[in-house]
Structure formats: C-alpha cells, structure tokens
DNA sequence: CTGAAAGCGCTTACAG
DNA sequence: CTGAAAGCGCTTACAG
C-alpha cells in the first residue's frame, strides 16, 4: 500500500495551495468550495462559513489562469485610451483603474495614439485574453473594430463622449435594433461645452473669436461644432477664424499658433483653444511676445488640466469630469459584467465653465 | 457508429480554434504543434513550416490562460510606478510597455503612491497572476516586499536608480551572496545629478543655493545628497538652505515654496528644485510676484519635463533618460525571462545638464 | 443543496 | 525528432 511517498507518474510539482486542499481540509467537495468562494447562492450558509474560514487559514488564492480557462472569462478589463501625453487620459485611467481594482479586476491598458487601426490591433490582442469587460475612449471606431466588439460579446462602456441626441424611436434602424439601449457610455456633450465657452467669450464682448485646435480627434471636432453653432446663432460665423492643425497637441504648438494667429489677423480678440496645453503654451508665448492677455486677446482652454490655475494670467477653461467619468464608467461596466442593467446607459456628467483672468 | 453529431456528455461549446484543430489539419500530434509554435528546437524544420502554415491559415491564436495554467508562467509583466501625476513615470511606462508589447507581453501597471505597503499589496496581487517578469521603480522596498520578490523567483529589473558604488568584493556580504550580480537595474546616479546641477549653479557664481524638495522619496533624497556634497566640498554647506516638504510635488507647491523662501531669506540667489513641476510653478509665481529670474534668483529644476523649455524664462534643468530607461529595462527583463545574462546588470544611462535662461 | 466527473486548452515528463 | 498520456487548477453541466 503506497502512502505519502506515492506520486502520479507525471506529477509536476507546484507549491501552490489549491481548491482541492481547501476542500479536503473543510471536508467538502471541490465543487462546493468553488461555489462557496464565488458567493454562488444555493450553498448552505454554514458550509460557506466553514469553507471561508479554512480557505483563509490556508491562505488559499484562486489561480486566475485556471479560473479563466474553466470559465472562459478572465479577471482582466481592457482600457483603451488615445494618448498618455494628454493628462486628461491619465486622470481617466487612474480613476477607472482604482474602481476596477477594488472590485478585483486587473486593468490592461492600451494606447491607440488616435489611430483606428492601432486601436483595432490592440483590441484584437486584448480579446485573446478574454477580458471580462472593456472601457474604450470615444464612440468612433472602424467598422471592423465595431464588428470585433460585437462578436466578442464582451461588455463595453465608452468614455468621454455621448451619442447625438436621438429623435423619436424609429423602427428599422439597424444599429439601434442591434443595441436596444444604445451604446453604453459615460461622458458629457462636447458640442455643448464648445458652445458654452464660445458664449462666455461673446458675453465678454469679444467679436472675433478664433477656434484653434490640434489633433483634430472626433471630440475636438465636436467642440468646433459647438463654437460654430454659437457664432452662427449670432450671424458671426467666419470660416477664416478656424485654425485646425492635425499635429499632436502641445505647449509649444500652442505658442506657435498664437504667434501665427496674431500675425495674420491682428483684429482677433479671443482665442478658444481646444485643449489646455495649447492654451497654456499660448499664455507663455504671449508673455514672451509682449501680448497682453486678456486686454489684447483673451485666451480660453479646455479640460482644466494641471497648471491652468497657476498660469499668469490664470486660464479660463472648461472643467471636464474625467475622474468621475473613469469611476462611473468602471461602475457601469461592473454592472454589465454582473448581468445588471445600468439605469442610465448614456450617462451625462456635464462640464463647468471656469472663469479666470485670461478672458 | 457515431459521427459528426456525437459529443462528449459534458461538452462545453466554445467556438475557439485550438491547438488540436491545428494538429489534426497538419497531420501531426498536439505536442509537435506546441513545440513548433513556441520555436522549441528539436523539431523537424519541415514540420515547423507545415504547422506554421496551417496555424496561420486557420487563424489559430493560443489561449493565454491555458498556456499559463500548463506552463505556470503567464505572458504578463508587472510594472510598478509611484505616481501617474508625475510625467516622468508616464514616459517610463509608455516606453517600457511599447518594448514589452512588441515582444508579446502584456503590461500590468500598478501605482504605489510612494507607499511601501501599497507596493507590497500590489506586488502580492500581481504575483497571483504568475507574471513572467517585473519592472519596479527604485531600489527601496520593505523587507517583506523583498522577501516576496525573492521567493517568487520572478525576474525583476529596478528602474531609475542604481545601487551605491560598491567597494572591492568582500565575502560574507549576505545580500551580495544572495544575488551575485547585484539587483538588476537601469537608471542613473541621482546623487551625481544633484551634485552636477549644484556645481553648475556654483559656476554661475551663486553663493546661497537653496535645495527645495517635495515628496521626499529616496531618489529626491539622493539628489539632496548630491547638493550637500557639492556645497560641502567648498565649505558652503548651510542646513538652513534645505527646504524639504513631504507633500506631493506640484506646480502650486513650487510657487508657494518660492514665495516662502524669498520671504524668509532675501539673500538666496538660486533655488534648485528637485523636480520640474516645482520649478515651473516657481517660475510662474516669480512672474506674479515680480521677482526677476535669474537676476534676483536663479531657478533650476530636474527631469526636463514637458513645458520646461516653454517657460519664461526657459528652465535650466537635468535631462533624465526615462524613455531610454523604460526601454532598456524592458530589454534587460526580456533577457532575464529568456534565461540570458545581461551584460551590464547595473546599467547607467547618465543624465545631462540642460542650461537655459533661468540660471 | 451537494458531489463525482468531465472539460477548458495548453505544456511537459516519459517513452520510443 | 515525435507522440500518447498526464497534468495544470479551476468551473459547470449532470445526477441525485
């Protein structure tokens, strides 16, 4: 009779404490341990207590790989953001990650560089890990990306944007039929924010308000739409006041744009930059060039990034709720993962115009 | 005789194409497919070709969970950084992630908030995922963290710091005996950088040079040591010139520190901030307060972060090679993962004093 | 409510 | 160099 020295022929040693160990120590079957540990109902409360205690005592930690293999679902959540050089997305990432981690999920970050094919590639790689859910910036994705997402059946929440306001439900809309609640998303109305800031500038008596933008991603273009809308409403729209530069946003570019704008059109009395880094760069350049802000030209930004309140003069900007977006999106995703239905599939967290001395 | 309709009793459908499918299509055993795909030598080159072709044709993608479970090693790499609000670490993260991803590894990021017990907790969580390797900021870790790392046997490279220069090998050093090559790390000598910047200020004729620091993490304290060393060498060391604030680094704090320093000691003619965000904040505050830089007081920073060249006046600072550190550390880790021995276990990537107009 | 058994999709001794 | 078989540590139909 073989005893402790007997081993299966192909034994591969691994020191790990397994679910089986817990089951033996607790005197129940592995199935029961599995159910108890995952909080599945339909387990005797006394057994749950016993299993929990034994598991705690042995220091048992479930193996994520085994769990993922057996259940076809990992504890990973994918988050796709465009850029790490824009502080906006760093804040978003940190907030989302904090909430997800608290719920026991690992965050897998991907940086798309505002490139839809990079996005698709990242998504494809991540999907191989069978994520439990995904958080994706924006609502604009290539058709094949959308197909990938749909086919994967992985719950998904979109960040920082909301779909256009929908008219009354019309049947026969293929997209809406496929997703009866619309895409899940948490953000705010970029177009409204663009319009609101423009209205602020108009209220300050500005007559020639430039919209100066870089990167030109979809959300920037929506802010542009808001600017257009406000100006058109007063018959003040002039396409030569649009300065659109596809280069990445940066302090240096903001300075350059200010210089070019003022050189070409001295009558400009306000510039609305699509992001704070551009506006901060413009403020710094104004100092260098001896342009007085806001007397000669008012400067406004977007996002209220770090440092905007420290500028001289302090920057008027739109405060966007990215930390709240990150957290709320994580919570919504957790609901979806647990099979619940979010109360507000499209969650609007709003924005705030922060008036400082630069306008 | 059962045919295509027959199924095992407990079949769980999953559409996935498996290694078995490839094996059947290629007419070889699963073991051979496994070996061929992982590039294990000792497989007939012709078979490798065949397997690769079939696998490509079927669009086979190995299941990471199954692979991790069977091999006891995942394709995850852990990276632990202190803060996402310091652009330094964002650059580091992005560079490391890029290299790791190119080599087929997934990055799992953890943010320690400069807190050694948070670090330990994060490490513990990550270790449950059996990472293939880890990248950890700094060389200072709690004893239990060090124990965790050692016991895990997971290859590890430390970032942004180097151990003190060692004297001649003396046997009996327990730490060195445990790790004959020393800890693997990629960084530069923080103390030398602190000393070099101080020497630059001295060369500019500055007599009362403040060292102003926040956060006070180990690397900041090494820069302080460098500052002390340079001043002591000239008998100019004065402890009242040390301004150490444990609060997190920020633009606002830099401005505040400038104000307080100048108020308390008008004779100060230079301030060396331990990080660029503080220095940038000081530059902005100087403008507000009407303090002329560098005439009244010279300002120097550390790291050459975004925007330092855009300040007015542009900021003199220490350019640190964080992107290179991230990449080189990733490469070193990949070597360790593959069982190779890095040529330089402690890789010094140096630094550069960037002289602009603020000093 | 509980358990025995099969299965998830790989890797890796072991034998040839 | 190749293959059959066992095993990694879980989850989940299925049966009771």
What was the pLDDT predicted at B4? 40
What was the pLDDT predicted at A46? 87
What was the pLDDT predicted at B42? 80
Footprint of strand D on the protein (CB under 7 A): A 8-12, 14, 16, 18-20, 30-31, 34-35, 37-38, 60-63, 66-67, 69-72; B 9-10, 12, 28-32, 35, 41-44, 47, 66, 69-70, 72
With a cut of 60, say whether residue B3 has pLDDT above it.
no
Q: Do B108 and A107 touch (CB under 8 A)?
A: yes
3-class SS of residue B38 = coil
With a cut of 50, say whether residue B2 has pLDDT above it.
no
Mean pLDDT of chain A: 91
Residue ranges covered by each domain of chain A: 19-62, 71-188+323-351, 190-319
Among the partner residues B109, B128, B312, nearest to A284 by beta-carbon distance: B312
Q: Which residue has the tokens 């647990």?
A: A338
| Angle between helix A45-58 and A30-37 (nearest 10) | 90
pLDDT tens profile B298-316: 999 999 999 999 999 999 9
Nucleotides of D under 7 A from a protein CB: 1-14
With a cut of 70, say whether residue B278 has pLDDT above it.
yes
Beta partners for B55?
none
With a cut of 50, say whether residue B175 has pLDDT above it.
no
Q: What residue is closest to D4 (Cα–C1')?
A: B29
Strand (E) or helix (H) holding B257: helix B251-264
Please state, in angstroms and rounded to a whole number, the distance separating the CA atoms of residues A116 and A141: 6
pLDDT tens profile A311-327: 999 999 999 999 999 99
Categorize the per-residue pLDDT at B177 as very low, low, confident or very high, splitting at 50, 70 and 90: very low
* Average pLDDT score over residue span B46-66: 91
* CATH T-level assignment (fold) for domain A71-188+323-351: Rossmann fold (3.40.50)
Q: What residue is closest to C8 (Cα–C1')?
A: A70
Give all strands (DSSP E) within B28-105, no chain letters: 76-81
pLDDT tens profile B230-255: 999 999 999 999 999 999 999 999 99
pLDDT tens profile A47-73: 899 999 999 999 899 999 999 999 988
On chain A, the residues whose CB falls within 8 A of the CB of B310 are 251-252, 255, 281, 284-285
Strand (E) or helix (H) holding A209: strand A209-214
Q: What's the CATH number of domain A19-62, 3.40.30.10, 1.10.10.10, 1.10.260.40, 3.40.50.510?
A: 1.10.260.40
Evaluate if the CB of A41 falls below 7 Å from strand C: yes
Q: Do the domains at A71-188+323-351 and A190-319 have one common CATH topology?
A: yes
Q: Do A65 and B63 touch (CB under 8 A)?
A: no
What was the pLDDT predicted at A181? 72
Q: What's the CATH number of domain A190-319, 3.40.220.10, 3.40.228.10, 3.40.50.2300, 1.10.1740.110?
A: 3.40.50.2300
The reported pTM is: 0.91
Categorize the per-residue pLDDT at A201 as very low, low, confident or very high, splitting at 50, 70 and 90: very high
What was the pLDDT predicted at A7? 53
Neighbours of A236 (CB within 10 A): 15
Token readout for B119 is 């670090």
With a cut of 80, say whether residue A241 has pLDDT above it.
yes
Among the partner residues A63, A281, A311, nearest to B284 by beta-carbon distance: A311
With a cut of 50, say whether residue A92 has pLDDT above it.
yes
Percent of chain A with pLDDT strictly greater than 90: 81
Categorize the per-residue pLDDT at A202 as very low, low, confident or very high, splitting at 50, 70 and 90: very high
What was the pLDDT predicted at B6? 47
Q: Which is nearest to A109 in space by CA: A85, A77, A70?
A: A77
Size of interface A-B (CB pairs under 8 A): 96
* Average pLDDT score over residue span A83-105: 95
Categorize the per-residue pLDDT at A117 as very low, low, confident or very high, splitting at 50, 70 and 90: very high
Among the partner residues B109, B285, B312, nearest to A287 by beta-carbon distance: B312
Which range is least confidently modeled, A16-20, A24-28, A60-64, B12-16? B12-16
With a cut of 70, say whether residue A38 has pLDDT above it.
yes
């Amino acid at each position: 009779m073989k005893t402790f020295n007997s081993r299966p022929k192909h034994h591969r040693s691994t020191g790990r404490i397994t679910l089986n160990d817990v089951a033996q120590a607790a005197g129940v079957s592995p199935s029961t341990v599995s159910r108890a540990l995952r909080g599945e109902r339909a387990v005797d409360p006394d057994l749950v207590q016993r299993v929990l205690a034994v598991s705690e005592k042995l220091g048992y930690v479930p193996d994520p790989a085994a769990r993922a293999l057996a259940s076809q679902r990992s504890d990973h959540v994918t988050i796709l953001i465009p850029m790490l050089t824009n502080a906006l997305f760093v804040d978003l990432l940190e907030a989302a990650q904090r909430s997800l981690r608290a719920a026991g999920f690992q965050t897998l970050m991907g940086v798309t560089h505002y490139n839809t094919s990079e996005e698709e590639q990242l998504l494809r790689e991540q999907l191989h890990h069978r994520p439990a859910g995904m958080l994706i910036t924006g609502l604009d994705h290539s058709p094949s990306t959308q197909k990938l997402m749909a086919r994967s059946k992985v719950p998904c929440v979109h960040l920082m944007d909301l779909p256009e306001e929908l008219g009354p439900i019309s049947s026969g809309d293929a997209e809406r039929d496929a997703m009866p609640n619309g895409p899940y998303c948490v953000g705010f109305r970029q177009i409204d924010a663009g319009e609101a800031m423009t209205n602020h500038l108009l209220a300050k008596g500005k007559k020639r308000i430039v919209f100066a933008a870089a990167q030109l991603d979809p959300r920037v273009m929506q802010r542009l739409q808001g600017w257009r809308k406000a100006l058109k409403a007063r018959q003040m729209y002039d396409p030569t006041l649009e300065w659109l530069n596809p280069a990445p946003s940066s302090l240096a570019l903001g300075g350059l744009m200010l210089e070019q704008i003022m050189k070409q059109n001295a009558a400009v009395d306000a510039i609305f930059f699509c992001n704070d880094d551009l506006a901060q760069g413009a403020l710094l350049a104004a100092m260098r060039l001896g342009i007085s802000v806001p007397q000669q030209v008012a400067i406004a930004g977007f996002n209220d990034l770090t440092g905007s309140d420290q500028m001289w003069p302090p920057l008027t900007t739109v405060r966007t709720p990215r930390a709240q977006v990150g957290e709320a999106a994580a919570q919504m995703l957790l609901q979806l993962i647990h099979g619940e239905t979010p109360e507000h599939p499209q969650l609007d967290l709003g924005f705030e115009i922060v008036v400082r001395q630069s306008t």
